[in-house]
Amino acid sequence: MEDTIVAMATAMGEASIHILRLSGSRAEQIIEKCFEPQNRERWSRQENFTLNLGLFRDEDKILDEVLIGRMVAPFSYTGENTYEINCHGGPFVAQRILEACIRHGARLAEPGEFSKRAFLNGKLDLVQAEAVIDLITSRTESSANLALSQLNGGLSRSITKLREDILEILAFIEAGIDFPEDDVETLDRENLEFLINNTLSHCKRLLDGSKTGKILREGLLTVIVGQPNVGKSSLLNALLHEERAIVTDIPGTTRDEIRESVNVGGILLQLVDTAGICESKDVVERLGIERAWKALKSAELILLVVQANLHLTDVEYEILNTYSDKVIVLINKMDLLEKNKDIVPVYEKGFWIPFSVLHGKGFTQLEEEIRRRVYQGESMLSTDPLLSNVRQITSLSNCDCSLKQALESLKIGMPWDIISIDIRLALQFVSEITGHNVQETLLEDIFSRFCIGK
């Protein structure tokens, strides 16, 4: 925290501008040395949140004409004196400015170091810091909106409330330990049970929402399966709007898995196209089919493609029976059916959608069904803060387990100091989420996932 750090905030390469970020106790001194403002008077008034045009020099040499944004501590992202240097977008120019800052006493920032300083200076909590990186890596509107709402502090407030409630429970127990009067005891035990139950329902609401949150953040692992030649790869290509997979009318065209991510109705799908499942003598095809079966196990959503004018086979029945909860059946090639007046296959399990990849039929219904599943009806479209990050979800689940354990101990008449052990654990777990109580190694792990300059 003593050092002054500098880094490129934009990606290297040719661009219209590049931005370098400089933050720390010596930042002002470095800028004073290198920057020659056009409007000296304004610059010397030390005005905050100003953009100043001028020349950037290294000793006598002019490196570029730049615009410098000035953010004086504590009113900056990091909470320190911070300068953002907007220079012309050549990698050479930016590199020379970076080197000049280093020569005058700054050091190159580590990944995520600006955000880590923001956290350590109390500008962000860990939930918000992790939302920053999620916002940067968002690929759909819904994941960006989710990250933005976490950055705005809605989730942090909910977790902070949870933490305060647990602290209150702990205070209540400690008072009970200090004044153990038998007649008060029964009443207190009922009150304590009420408090723990209330906190547990808060945990449950957050954990229920986290299923949706995690999918919005990471995407839904979606496997396309079916018999050969029913149109699986055609579906993949249509969803991607590009000819990614080879499509032919020869059964057994796809051998290996094809993985791509795609935005469907605002939800990120991690799509896997698989080899058509059938009895095959071909070694390569058989290996592909084995992979298809394996992919089904880990899938969060299965798109089972069947062909409108064919009867269901044992394989399709098996998939429907084993995975009915996560299957959407697409009855593809409905266009053929209209000509032949054949019977459409149906079965009581799974959700069925008449489909034609060739004629663009059924896509809207598929989108709606996926959204319905992800948002658990409409309940998750509300403004409830959603937890989405595995680290945070794990800590909250641990907190939930400790509270349940405390409740159990209370019910079987355990002494107060035993109950307080689990409540303390719950407090520790909930504190990890926002970073009230974290180890340095965890911080390193979190911030090293950021880009340099953020």
Ligand X SMILES: Nc1nc2c(ncn2[C@@H]2O[C@H](COP(=O)(O)OP(=O)(O)OP(=O)(O)O)[C@@H](O)[C@H]2O)c(=O)[nH]1
What is the phi/psi pair of residue 256, to 5°?
-95, 165
Look-up: residue for tokens 């209330």? 198
Nearest approach, Cβ of residue 235 and ligand X (Å): 7
d(CA 18, CA 98) in angstroms, rounded, equals 11
Nearest approach, Cβ of residue 308 and Mg ion (Å): 18
How many other C-beta atoms can be found within 10 angstroms of the C-beta atom of residue 173? 21
**Contacts with ligand X, 356-375, as mask; x by CB under 6 A:** xxx-----------------
| Window of 292-300, 333-341, 344-352, 411-419 that interacts with ligand X by CB under 6 A | 333-341
d(CA 65, CA 54) in angstroms, rounded, equals 6
Q: Which of 253, 261, 270, 313 binds ligand X (CB under 6 A)?
A: 253
**Contacts with ligand X, 188-227, as mask; x by CB under 6 A:** --------------------------------------x-
228 binds, among ligand X, Mg ion, none (CB under 5 to 8 A by kind): ligand X
Look-up: residue for tokens 């409409």? 378
29 is a site residue for ligand X (CB under 6 A): no
All residues at 6 or more sequence positions from 430 whose CB lies less than 8 Å from its CB, including other chains: 159, 162, 163, 166, 395, 396, 399
4 binds, among ligand X, Mg ion, none (CB under 5 to 8 A by kind): none
CA distances for 58 relative to 27, 34, 76, 86, 217, angstroms: 15, 6, 26, 16, 44
406 is a site residue for ligand X (CB under 6 A): no
d(CA 293, CA 224) in angstroms, rounded, equals 11
Continuous segment of H or E residues that includes residue 191? helix 182-218
Nearest approach, Cβ of residue 246 and ligand X (Å): 7
82 is a site residue for ligand X (CB under 6 A): no
| Window of 24-32, 173-181, 246-254, 397-405 that interacts with ligand X by CB under 6 A | 246-254
251 binds, among Mg ion, ligand X, none (CB under 5 to 8 A by kind): ligand X
Is 113 within 8 Å of 446 (Cβ atoms)?
Answer: no
d(CA 33, CA 54) in angstroms, rounded, equals 13
d(CA 256, CA 247) in angstroms, rounded, equals 13
Nearest approach, Cβ of residue 382 and ligand X (Å): 37
Nearest approach, Cβ of residue 192 and Mg ion (Å): 60
Nearest approach, Cβ of residue 257 and ligand X (Å): 11
- Pick from 56, 84, 53, 85: nearest CA to 71: 84
Is 324 within 8 Å of 312 (Cβ atoms)?
Answer: no
Nearest approach, Cβ of residue 273 and ligand X (Å): 7
d(CA 329, CA 102) in angstroms, rounded, equals 60
Give 37 or 228: the residue with its C-beta nearer to Mg ion: 228
Q: Which of 20, 63, 71, 230 binds ligand X (CB under 6 A)?
A: 230
Q: Which of 23, 115, 254, 420 binds ligand X (CB under 6 A)?
A: 254
Residues 236-295 that bind Mg ion (CB under 5 A): 253-254
d(CA 314, CA 37) in angstroms, rounded, equals 77
Nearest approach, Cβ of residue 82 and Mg ion (Å): 53
* 3-state class (DSSP) for residue 449: coil
d(CA 37, CA 119) in angstroms, rounded, equals 32
**Contacts with Mg ion, 350-379, as mask; x by CB under 5 A:** ------------------------------
Q: Which of 54, 209, 276, 362 binds ligand X (CB under 6 A)?
A: 276
356 binds, among Mg ion, ligand X, none (CB under 5 to 8 A by kind): ligand X
**Contacts with Mg ion, 199-238, as mask; x by CB under 5 A:** ---------------------------------xx-----
Is 23 within 8 Å of 76 (Cβ atoms)?
Answer: yes
Which pairing describes strands 35-37 and 17-23: parallel, antiparallel, or unpaired?
Answer: unpaired
Binding site for ligand X (CB under 6 A): 226, 228-234, 247-249, 251-254, 275-276, 332-333, 335-336, 356-358
